[in-house]
A and B are shown apart, each in its own frame.
Chain A
């Protein structure tokens, strides 16, 4: 016979199970509905994690918690506004983008011709070209397809060349590059100057302006969550944790708190370590690239990009390398303080710089700051990156690996503690 206590316990378990399933389903549904908010939420959370020791430091120095949070939040908002402002002004505008693409296409083709010895009239190319020339030509055609300006962009280029939107005209040498690039294209300068395409580009301008405004509003609406998550997590003085801990049965009370604390520490250390590591990689890139003669603006852009992508294991450094190499490819002149660096050996020095940065990161920054928390299987990294970029685009590409590391740390700590407490 089942006693009333046993039957009550059974009913209790069933009710708990049903509630857990309903809550999990509702949670997943809600998460799916609010999936666009996940990214700002994650960034707000990660930033708060990075800032927790600063609050502790302020408290240790006698600064009241409220004032410390107020100051940190002020700095956070200020940094975002400055970053948005500066990035907006430092990033290439429409005209600069067109010029950059044109330069890139021209320089890649020029380098290809140079390496394959195709520049001389009636040249049959070098030995390598003789063997795999056909395959290489096909590959180059594909690369040209990818980086070439679209017909509308070409028409827009023409407009900017003769002066458009109050901007100074595009330099003649870049127009020469443009003409050279057009040789492999089906469209001619005359066709580009025809009214049809010009109309197309100008008719695109008006709705474009509206859509930019609506995009900005959408972004603000979405990203406004981030500072609030950041503030909320800083204000919380353990109340969220206490609430969840109060729901945990006594049997799992100690183990749960141990897991929460260990996971908290591990995630905090990993995120702070990664942030400092990425910053150091970014700063090293900027300094070294500026040293070998990159224009400071571009050294900063490439440095920031290399630092951000450095959070992605395996693939991140490749992005940094590619950006630097592309810039070295399109740069017209350099102004290095080191006299032995010139246009002819620039690419060599770019590679040397990147090797120094990689060596520093692998031998010093990563072991000291992050430890081995990031030792993920390459397959997990690749699948994570594909999934992350499919869901959240570029930001997903950067944030997926930290998120995977956080999940991995959580489960490994949970299993370790459950074993230590002899529960499994």
Chain B
């Protein structure tokens, strides 16, 4: 007997229906489904996006991108771990966040080429998927509906972040 969502099920059926919890063993389409920006895409659209995504492997210590470089792509971590670094007040490196399998970073680069606000460095051997702004723009040209869904989700994510920042700002004592 196996267990799925807390329910005990038969081993045979469990092995067939159980979702693979480890994204590293999933294909690109399945990983994209886990990312909010792509969640509302149909299977067909998802395949189109999967076709324009680049697979990269980073060794520990290698940068996915560096602070102040023009942003060109968003990265989705397929397997591994990266840390987001920014220089502190004393010019020392401050770890802002650690991202793992299934997380994504650099999504604002999908909008324009403003300089990156922080660096992203692989902590361990990391497989990442890179989604380029220019490819998204081309998608907007060839498949406007698919691209608009992605842009809408991106706008929602940015809106939520802005809301959260505003709330944080107003909750601070004056």
Contacts and interface: CB of A to CB of B under 8 A. Distances in A.
The judgment on whether A and B are partners is yes
B63 A257 contact: no
Contacts of B62: 250-251
B143 A422 contact: no
A171 interface: no
A148 B117 CA distance: 74
Nearest to A60: B142
A60 B73 CA distance: 24
Interface in B15-74: 51-52, 54, 56, 58, 62-65, 68-70, 72-73
B144 to A, nearest CB: 7
Contacts of A261: 132, 134
Contacts of B138: 56
A257 B69 contact: no
Contacts of A422: 68-69
B56 A250 contact: yes
A238 interface: yes
A23 to B, nearest CB: 23
B111 to A, nearest CB: 15
Chain A contact patch, size range: 10 to 19
Contact of A257 (B58, B65, B73, B143): B73
B144 A60 contact: yes
Nearest to A265: B134
B63 A251 contact: yes
A253 interface: yes
A60 B62 CA distance: 39
A145 interface: no
A156 B70 CA distance: 70
Nearest to A254: B72
Interface string A249-291: 0110110011001000000000000000000000000000000
B166 interface: no
A257 B141 contact: no
A60 B141 contact: yes
B130 interface: yes
A422 B63 CA distance: 14
Interface string A104-141: 00000000000000000000000000000000000000
Contact of A258 (B54, B134, B141, B142): B134
A86 to B, nearest CB: 34
A59 B134 contact: no
Interface in A217-251: 237-238, 242, 245-246, 250-251
Contacts of B68: 422
24 contacts: A56-B138, A56-B141, A237-B51, A238-B51, A242-B54, A245-B54, A246-B54, A250-B58, A250-B62, A250-B63, A251-B63, A253-B54, A253-B56, A253-B130, A254-B72, A254-B73, A257-B132, A258-B70, A258-B72, A258-B134, A261-B132, A421-B70, A422-B68, A422-B69
Interface of B: 51-52, 54, 56, 58, 62-65, 68-70, 72-73, 130, 132, 134, 138, 141-144
7 residue pairs, one from A and one from B, having the closest CB atoms: A261-B134, A59-B142, A254-B72, A258-B72, A56-B142, A420-B70, A421-B69
